[in-house]
């Protein structure tokens, strides 16, 4: 079956295969972000040339229902009319200024309106840059050096965060990266997600030295792993007790579940928010935010340095402002949740017969290929999944015109552009694929 899948795929994406061959001669691995190379699922990646609504189209003209959504930003779907219009209008006035512009103020005010905890924010160019800046700010504010993260959580590819990281590093089966010095990671601790016991023990030994604890409140870089009851509240209490800043990395989860953050949804106020993806509406944009007391430690107000030529880029801000306003005014979240609930219910029934589990929250979901009785609760559980069967599943989905993230360790997304018909089609193809894999 596996060989037959490869043959069918190769016949249907011949132009993509040729493009990938050309790319590998010019770009390391043929890609500009490792997981795109399809190393975890095999075969050649489709080269995407267009997207519209819930669909993407590859160089061969093949149409896919897209559940990757550019890895999260496209909660409104591809090429949403108002977002494209905002970008087009802004582009007519210039692509970049490297100077102050009114949209920076508009975005900061909009974020503050939607998330009152964020009294001040700073725009950056990516989630990686935002997380890196948040950690530097925490160290500068507290005067401490140590950082705590969680196994399988991914906070960008800055050196200090490449310790037991998720996302592409989990896909590649490595926990760090060549080129990262021992000194760069010496001040970073990584503990199991959902384990307050491990956090408490670490803080008893190192608490007075820990500047910040950074966490994905809903983990999305080892597949979807939801926080257990009391976990996030416990982190808030421990950090407050030891004078450590709590950082919520909401690059994925921010504005994903409602027109705000998980911090608001769960009733927990972190000290610093890290934002990205949705706030850029599909354009490169990151941000950090928090109280005035903390944020004014950033230069030029304070001594923690951060700068960026393209920070607050007017085109990215135009896309992000348009997206956040649509989310605020149209509130597509109940629709998205209803579609996700339908998918979850259907797959949950299949769990009775097949060794799979579905994790779901809002429009985020992961189908884990595991025979364990419970849904994975941490990175150790996730690593027990059958990646070979996921690879077969992924190839069968591609053949049937469904595009999923090409890794067992990534989260998929339902957008406002999806509808019941597409979810029903997906459900039927899931069953068909499972019958072939486990025949």
Identify whether 436 is a catalytic site residue: no
Residue bearing the bigger pLDDT, 99 or 159: 99
75-85 pLDDT, tens per residue? 999 999 999 99
Asked if residue 193 has pLDDT above 70, the reply is: yes
Categorize the per-residue pLDDT at 156 as very low, low, confident or very high, splitting at 50, 70 and 90: confident
Categorize the per-residue pLDDT at 159 as very low, low, confident or very high, splitting at 50, 70 and 90: low
Quick one: what percent of the chain has pLDDT higher than 70? 91
Do residues 234 and 193 touch, judged by C-beta distance below 8 A? no
Do residues 438 and 351 touch, judged by C-beta distance below 8 A? no
Q: What is the pLDDT of residue 162?
A: 64
Asked if residue 102 has pLDDT above 80, the reply is: yes
Do residues 17 and 10 touch, judged by C-beta distance below 8 A? yes
| Active-site option among 62, 146, 149, 277 | 277
- Going from the N-terminus, what domains does the chain have, and what CATH number goes with each? 2-66+332-437 (3.90.1150.10), 81-330 (3.40.640.10)
Mean residue pLDDT of the chain comes to 92
| Active-site option among 64, 154, 273, 333 | 154
272-305 pLDDT, tens per residue? 999 999 999 999 999 999 999 999 999 999 999 9
Measured distance CA(388)–CA(203) in Å, rounded: 38
Measured distance CA(67)–CA(155) in Å, rounded: 22
> Residue 65 region, left (φ>0) first, then alpha (ψ -120 to 50), else beta?
beta
Identify whether 305 is a catalytic site residue: no
User: Could you tell me the two tokens for 106?
Assistant: 């508009």
Neighbours of 304 (CB within 10 A): 18
What is the mean predicted confidence (pLDDT) over 170-184?
Answer: 56
| Active-site option among 117, 249, 271, 381 | 249
27-71 pLDDT, tens per residue? 999 999 999 999 899 989 999 999 999 999 999 999 999 999 999
Helix 387-399 / helix 420-437 crossing angle, nearest 10 deg: 130
Collapsing DSSP to helix, strand or coil, 283 comes out as strand
CA atoms within 13 Å, Cβ hemisphere of 69: 27
Cross-strand bridge partners of residue 149 = 190
Categorize the per-residue pLDDT at 160 as very low, low, confident or very high, splitting at 50, 70 and 90: low
Identify whether 93 is a catalytic site residue: no
What is the mean predicted confidence (pLDDT) over 316-340?
Answer: 98
Q: Which residues contact 23 (CB under 8 A, 6 or more apart)?
A: 30, 31
Q: What is the pLDDT of residue 3?
A: 54
Helix residue spans in 143-212 (DSSP H): 168-171, 182-185, 196-206
249: nearest Cα among 136, 132, 337: 132
Measured distance CA(304)–CA(317) in Å, rounded: 24
Quick one: what percent of the chain has pLDDT higher than 90? 87
Categorize the per-residue pLDDT at 1 as very low, low, confident or very high, splitting at 50, 70 and 90: very low
Q: What is the pLDDT of residue 188?
A: 86
Measured distance CA(61)–CA(58) in Å, rounded: 5
Q: What is the pLDDT of residue 173?
A: 40
Measured distance CA(210)–CA(397) in Å, rounded: 45
- Tell me the chain's radius of gyration from C-alpha atoms: 21
């Amino acid at each position: 079956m596996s060989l037959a899948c490869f043959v069918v795929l190769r016949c249907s994406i011949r132009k993509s295969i040729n493009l990938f061959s050309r790319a590998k001669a010019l770009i390391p691995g043929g890609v500009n972000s490792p997981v795109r190379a399809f190393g975890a699922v095999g075969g050649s990646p489709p080269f995407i040339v267009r997207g519209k609504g819930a669909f993407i189209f590859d160089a061969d003209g093949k149409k896919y229902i897209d559940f990757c959504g550019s890895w999260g930003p496209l909660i409104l779907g591809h090429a949403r009319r108002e977002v494209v219009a905002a970008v087009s209008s802004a582009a007519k006035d210039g692509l970049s200024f490297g100077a102050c512009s009114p949209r920076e103020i508009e975005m900061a005010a909009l974020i503050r309106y939607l998330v009152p905890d964020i009294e001040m924010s700073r725009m950056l160019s990516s989630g990686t840059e935002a997380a890196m800046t948040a950690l530097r700010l925490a160290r500068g504010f507290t005067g401490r050096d140590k950082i705590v993260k969680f196994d399988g959580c991914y906070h960008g590819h800055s050196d200090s965060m490449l310790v037991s990281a998720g996302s592409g590093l989990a896909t590649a089966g490595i926990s760090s990266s060549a080129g990262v010095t021992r000194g760069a990671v010496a001040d970073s601790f990584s503990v199991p997600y959902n384990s307050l016991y491990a956090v408490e023990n670490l803080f008893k030994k190192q608490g007075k030295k820990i500047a910040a604890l950074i966490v994905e409140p809903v983990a999305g870089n080892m597949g979807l792993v939801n926080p257990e009851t009391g976990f996030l509240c416990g982190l808030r209490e421990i950090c407050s007790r030891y004078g450590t800043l709590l950082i919520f990395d909401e690059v994925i989860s921010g504005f994903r579940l409602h027109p705000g953050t998980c911090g608001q949804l769960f009733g927990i106020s972190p000290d610093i928010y890290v934002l990205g993806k949705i706030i850029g509406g599909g354009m490169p944009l990151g941000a950090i935010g928090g109280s005035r007391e903390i944020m004014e430690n950033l230069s030029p107000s304070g001594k923690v340095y951060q700068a960026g030529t393209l920070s607050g880029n007017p085109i990215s801000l135009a896309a992000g402002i348009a997206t956040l306003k649509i989310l605020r005014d149209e509130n597509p979240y109940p629709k998205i949740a209803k579609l996700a609930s339908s998918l979850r219910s259907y797959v949950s029934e299949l769990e009775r017969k097949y060794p799979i589990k579905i994790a779901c929250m809002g429009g985020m979901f992961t189908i884990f290929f595991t025979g364990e009785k419970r849904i994975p609760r941490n990175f150790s559980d996730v690593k027990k999944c059958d990646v070979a069967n996921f690879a077969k599943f992924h190839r069968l989905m591609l053949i049937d015109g469904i595009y999923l993230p090409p890794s067992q360790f990534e989260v998929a997304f339902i957008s406002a552009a999806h509808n019941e018909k597409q979810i029903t089609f997906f459900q039927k193809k899931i069953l068909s694929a499972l019958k072939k894999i486990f025949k």
